[in-house]
Structure 1
Amino acid sequence: MPHADIYEHFHPDEKSFVDRAWEWVERAAELHQVRRTDFLDPRQAHILFTLANKHPDVAIRLDGGGEDAERRRAIVAPDYRPLEDEPIGIGVLDIVSDDRRIGELDHGDYLGALLGLGMKRDKIGDIHPREDGCHVLIAEEIGDFLTGHLRQAHRVEVRASVIGLDGLKAVRPELEEMALSVASLRLDGVASDAFRLSRAKIMDPIRAGRCRVNWKPAEDPSAQLREGDIVSMKGFGRFKVLAIDGVSKSGRIRVRIGKFV
């Protein structure tokens, strides 16, 4: 178990992951074990690095299958072990269809189809939807199951196969830009405008723990947002604070955000 003071740096909801990550680090440092994790989001990767830095005998490698990957698997190992040749265990699920409606499917449709088969989110990396199909980074151990069971995504019949990482067609996420004029950079104020909800209605999901800022739980509606922050709200989507463009004559703050579509 980590020392009690370590928990002070993390949100209480992150305690279970902190405990797991600390165990990986300790086993690498003291028992010379090598651990390959499931896919981690950027916040989890940050936690793992923070804990590993407390052990000088531990090395970490992150890989999500592509240069700009958001979700990545990690290899945690003793620092004397070269990690470049350790298999990262990632495959590309190639989803295609004869139905032209496949071009209308988005990130959420594909993720919903995979989770609907009983897959854990941790086994799924980045999702790259295209007009003619989709590439999904997956833990290679679930590849056979998915190719045998994935038959539909949001009422569109599909086929799936697993290909190598060299065949990945990565798609940069599209951002729908919006210009906002807000009284302050409070989380509830910016989020209510971004999701077109009243200030009162945005409070409940924030206080209920359904909001994250930079993948970290955020339950304080008055938290101040900064340029570059990524805000996600379960059930509503997510947006990025692209720029803070100054203050208008009336004293309101001009903010540009990009909603992930």
Structure 2
Amino acid sequence: MNDIYQHFRKDEEPFIDQALEWKRVVTEQYRIKLTDFLDPREQVILTSVIGHSDEVKLGLFGGFQESERKRAILYPEYAEPMINDYQIQAFEVTYPNKFASIEHRELLGSLMGIGLKRQKFGDFIFAGDIRQFVCSEEVAEFVFFHLTHIGRVKVGLEKIPLSELHIPEQHVEIREDTVSSLRLDTVCSQVTRQSRQKAQALVKNGLVKVNWKLIEDTSYSLLEGDMLSVRGFGRFKLTNIDGKTKKGRWRLTIAKQK
């Protein structure tokens, strides 16, 4: 089982250990395990850890089919999780939208400011003046009573069913590219159509995030499932790393969010 670590980064080992422990609990105690919301990279790792196990199955859901952040259910083969088992509550924010606006970073900052970790929240939905988000049911009442302001704007919350979420239309461009290496500056150069030198400047100037974490190391190695965010150019997900060409270049499938 230790061989699994070689496929991932050193800083991902704590999450791998957690995933292995979840798997052990389901296998030995024969019961369902529900996780917090996982980002896309964590979903890739967990899927790899579970593999094609006959004893433990895996389900992922984040409130709607196209969600980016999802809760996972690990379950024995006898069980069949339903949507309600993911225990997700949706909220719509009520605020004076004629006089104030609410940005993504302000909503996230206010939710973190009431003392909850990011993993308790799923996707945020911004559609026109509509502001919605999903969270774990276990913190829903706490959020309902404690989120009274977003920035300087006084707000209220309305609990809504998942069916009333205003799911934004997905605009994704799928690209198939090849790169000489999986270094951050090399991939960044390819997805932004910039020179390697300009891509290095983007990284060193703090304009690039990998899996929502600022990375300033140009040699940082990317892996399948990573989400790459480049300020001014958008977000790119490495959906597949499909091996090498005969000339030794890496084949990539990249989803660009428009």
Which TM-score bucket, shorter chain as reference? 0.7 to 0.9
Does the 8 Å contact 1:188/1:221 carry over to 2? no
In the other structure, the counterpart of 2:80 is 82
- Answering whether residue 134 of structure 2 is matched by residue 137 of structure 1, we say yes
In the other structure, the counterpart of 2:124 is 127
1: distance between equivalents of 2:102 and 2:55?
A: 46
Distance 1:224 1:84, change over 3 A: same
In the other structure, the counterpart of 1:12 is 10
2: distance between equivalents of 1:229 and 1:25?
A: 23
Q: Deviations over 1:105-147 (max 9, x none)?
A: 2222211111111121100000002333311011111111111
1: distance between equivalents of 2:110 and 2:233?
A: 17
2: distance between equivalents of 1:155 and 1:112?
A: 12
Structure 1: state its 5+ residue gaps: 176-183, 243-256
1: distance between equivalents of 2:222 and 2:56?
A: 34
Moved more, 75-84 or 63-72: 75-84
Q: CA deviation at 1:86?
A: 5.8
Does the 8 Å contact 1:43/1:216 carry over to 2? no
1: distance between equivalents of 2:162 and 2:20?
A: 30
**RMSD value, Cα:** 3.8
2: distance between equivalents of 1:155 and 1:192?
A: 39
In the other structure, the counterpart of 1:156 is 153
- With normalisation by structure 1, the TM-score equals 0.72
- Answering whether residue 90 of structure 2 is matched by residue 92 of structure 1, we say yes
1: distance between equivalents of 2:193 and 2:99?
A: 32
In the other structure, the counterpart of 1:38 is 36
In the other structure, the counterpart of 2:218 is 221
- With normalisation by structure 2, the TM-score equals 0.73
SS in 1 for 2:30: coil
Does the 8 Å contact 1:135/1:170 carry over to 2? no
Structure 2: state its 5+ residue gaps: 173-180, 239-254
- Answering whether residue 235 of structure 2 is matched by residue 239 of structure 1, we say yes
2: distance between equivalents of 1:153 and 1:174?
A: 28
2: distance between equivalents of 1:166 and 1:230?
A: 27
Task: Name the % identity.
Answer: 31
Question: 1:108 corresponds to which letter in structure 2?
Answer: R
- Answering whether residue 212 of structure 2 is matched by residue 186 of structure 1, we say no
Question: 2:23 corresponds to which letter in structure 1?
Answer: V
In the other structure, the counterpart of 1:60 is 58
SS in 1 for 2:86: coil
SS in 2 for 1:33: coil
2: distance between equivalents of 1:89 and 1:169?
A: 19
Question: 2:76 corresponds to which letter in structure 1?
Answer: P
Q: CA deviation at 1:22?
A: 0.7
Does the 8 Å contact 2:110/2:150 carry over to 1? yes
Question: 2:152 corresponds to which letter in structure 1?
Answer: R
2: distance between equivalents of 1:136 and 1:51?
A: 29
Q: CA deviation at 1:201?
A: 6.1
Question: 1:56 corresponds to which letter in structure 2?
Answer: D
In the other structure, the counterpart of 1:203 is 204
Moved more, 92-101 or 21-30: 92-101
Does the 8 Å contact 1:39/1:71 carry over to 2? yes
Distance 1:223 1:162, change over 3 A: same
